[in-house]
Amino acid sequence: MTEKEIIDRLPELLSLPKETEWVEFKHNNYLPSDIGEYISALANSACLHKKDKAFLVFGVEDGTHKIVGTRFNPKTEKVGNEELENWLTHLLNPRIDFKIFILIFKGKSVVVFSIDPATNRPVRFSGISYVRIGSYKKKLSEHPEKEKKIWRNKPANDWSVAVCEGATINDLDPQAVTKARIAYAKRKKAPAEIENWDTITFLNKAKLAVEGKITRTTVLLLGNPESAHFLSPAVGQISWFLRDEKNNPRDFEHFGPPFILAVDAVLAKIRNLTVRFLPPRTLFPIETSQYDPIVIREALHNCIAHQDYEKNSRIQVVERPNEIIFDNAGNFIPGSVEAVIEQDAPPKLYRNPFLAQAMVNLGMIETEGGGIREMFKIQRGRFFPLPTFQLDKPDEVRVKIPGEIIDEKYTNLLISKTDLDLSTIMLLDRVQKKIKITKQGQLLLRLQKLIEGRSPNLYVSAQIAAITGGKVKYMKNRGLDKKFYQELILTFIKTNGVVTRTEIDELVLSKLPEILTDVQKRRKINNLLTEMSRKLKLIRNRGTDRSPKWMLNKA
């Protein structure tokens, strides 16, 4: 909502009855923990009352709805050293969207929290869900009938929650159900209790079924292979392809439901060879596998959870000699990988919230911390390049997991400098992959003296090259002093009298920085010759512009 929309809506809010469960009025009572609890209660109550927003309004007298103004300014309030808004966001789960408006209404200062309703599960603050009962704030656990309604209030566009008419527990794979029970018991730390549940009770408790009815989520995760027709026209399939170094197909296999078992089957197909690299200042190489199984599982689980099944497309896993590529249909909802890494939390929205919640309950994806960030941290800990997310196509997400060392300087840097934060490593990873980084990113790396060169030809700086033993490579990238090249050309002309441009190129090209393209190298030679002839007047052209012949300038 905009500030104008809030101002336009305030008269309507002020005219509401005193006991409205999705609106709360306050004067100056703004204890941080109270605000967090009210956001939870109002979001859950807005869901129950099917409201588009809930509101927490400061500067209005609760009993009379009279505008009295407020001294509260949430933009300047802090909890410890943390800003109030960030503090609230970290303790709300799921991280629903709320906006804060500070405005003047009828000459008085008014603060409005505009809060999105809970969508597919109750909103908790500091681990506890709240709800409004009349004008009172209560723990949601004391009102189980209301909690059930919130869980049942799935978004209309959630493909994964739809019931598969005609499907029964006989359409489920017994091995998959057993594995799901074990995973759920481990997650909830209550194996004895869960062991006594019948299958329908377990499915309901694990949020795999709705009131005992088999859903698309149930079929995807636990259905036997023959149950895939319940998903039609959607394609519940993971396809693995093996390609050689020239991208020619070598092998393939398709895996349908149950996905809880298919992930293991795909992982078993992937060849995980041993790679070796030699850290600086040691004679003992490090041996490790190309891929960490946790990274592969996380990537595949994300594909399953975020796939747009309504596009009738399969999930693809392409194994090449030195990388694995994961493709799934649908746009990347968080917008950017950097945003996901920075907030270190699950996304606010899921394309398939019912499926995602079931996968959380089975320990397949995380809610308390970002799985993508974990992938990056694991790769960093293994001294490998980070995953690459390609988000340039509107209806596809592609993730590449490298299985080889791209640049030894980068790898040795991770071994030698353990104090670099993940954001900085992500920028350096892009530099080693020759992927463009922003001007702000370049500035950050330059301030730390981590890169040199001119965009887009950036490379690791001398400081890091010294740390990683890459001094020779650095000098090749940096190039030699301009005076060196001028003296080289002068000596060459003195020795031979008259030389052609082709001969000068043959002499100098191999000594220019490797980071330059062929065009850039020839342009640099042009600049050297121009300066030597026109400014320094050391040489002159005795031939033509198209066929120059250079000699010493005797004048």
What is the DSSP secondary-structure string of 530-541? HIIIIIS--EEE
125 φ, ψ (degrees, to nearest 5): -120, 125
Angle between helices 482-496 and 501-508 (to 10 degrees): 130
Contact (Cβ atoms closer than 8 angstroms) between residue 159 and residue 232:
no
Tokens for 281, please give them.
């200042």
Residue 288 DSSP code: E
Residues 343 and 420 in one domain: no
Helix (H, G, I), strand (E, B) or coil at 114: strand
Residue 33 confidence (pLDDT): 92
Residues 415 and 489 in one domain: no
Residue 468 confidence (pLDDT): 47
Instruction: Sort strands 128-133 and 238-243 into parallel, antiparallel or unpaired.
Output: unpaired
Residues 320 and 236 in one domain: yes
Tokens for 464, please give them.
């890091």
- Peptide bond before 249: cis, by omega within 30 degrees of 0? no
Residues 437 and 548 in one domain: no
Query: From CA 258, how far away is CA 220, in angstroms rounded?
Result: 6
Average pLDDT of the chain is 86
Q: Over the Cα atoms of the chain, what is R_g?
A: 31
Residues 127 and 190 in one domain: no
- Peptide bond before 32: cis, by omega within 30 degrees of 0? no
Report the C-alpha dihedral over residues 150, 154, 155, 161, rounded to 10 degrees: 170
- How many folded domains does the chain comprise? 4
Residue 553 confidence (pLDDT): 86
Domain boundary among 110, 136, 152: 152
Instruction: Sort strands 315-320 and 238-243 into parallel, antiparallel or unpaired.
Output: parallel
For 229-284, what is each residue's pLDDT tens digit?
Answer: 999 999 999 999 999 999 999 999 999 999 999 999 999 999 988 888 766 666 66
Of 238, 404, 248, 220, residue with least CA distance to 317:
238
Task: Note down the domain range covering 528.
Answer: 482-552
Contact (Cβ atoms closer than 8 angstroms) between residue 22 and residue 52:
no
Residues 160 and 144 in one domain: no
Domain boundary among 136, 152, 168: 152
Query: From CA 117, how far away is CA 55, in angstroms rounded?
Result: 10
* pLDDT-flagged residues of the chain (< 50): 368-369, 465, 467-469, 471-472, 475
Residue 253 confidence (pLDDT): 96
Q: Is the pTM of this model over 0.75?
A: no
Residues 363 and 433 in one domain: no
Of 205, 249, 489, residue with least CA distance to 357:
205
CA angle 130, 136, 137 (to 5 degrees): 20
Written as one string, the DSSP assignment of 1-27 is --HHHHHHHHHHHHTS-S--TTEEEES
Cα separation values, 146 from 45, 131, 142, Å: 9, 9, 9
Query: From CA 460, how far away is CA 451, in angstroms rounded?
Result: 4
Contact (Cβ atoms closer than 8 angstroms) between residue 3 and residue 102:
no
Residues 80 and 219 in one domain: no
Residues 53 and 68 in one domain: yes
Q: Which residue has the tokens 């990537």?
A: 299
Residue 423 DSSP code: H
Residues 490 and 469 in one domain: no
CATH number, residue 90 = 3.30.950
Domain boundary among 405, 435, 465: 405
Residue 440 confidence (pLDDT): 75
Query: From CA 188, how far away is CA 81, in angstroms rounded?
Result: 34
Which helix H or strand E contains 264, and what residues bound it? helix 259-269
Contact (Cβ atoms closer than 8 angstroms) between residue 343 and residue 370:
yes
The number of helix segments (H) and strand segments (E) in the chain equals 21, 25
Contact (Cβ atoms closer than 8 angstroms) between residue 372 and residue 386:
no
CATH number, residue 311 = 3.30.565.60
Residues 398 and 515 in one domain: no
Residues 329 and 395 in one domain: yes
Contact (Cβ atoms closer than 8 angstroms) between residue 79 and residue 87:
yes
Residue 483 confidence (pLDDT): 79
For 438-460, what is each residue's pLDDT tens digit?
Answer: 887 888 788 777 788 887 788 76
Q: Which residue has the tokens 């019931």?
A: 163
Query: From CA 359, how far away is CA 184, in angstroms rounded?
Result: 10
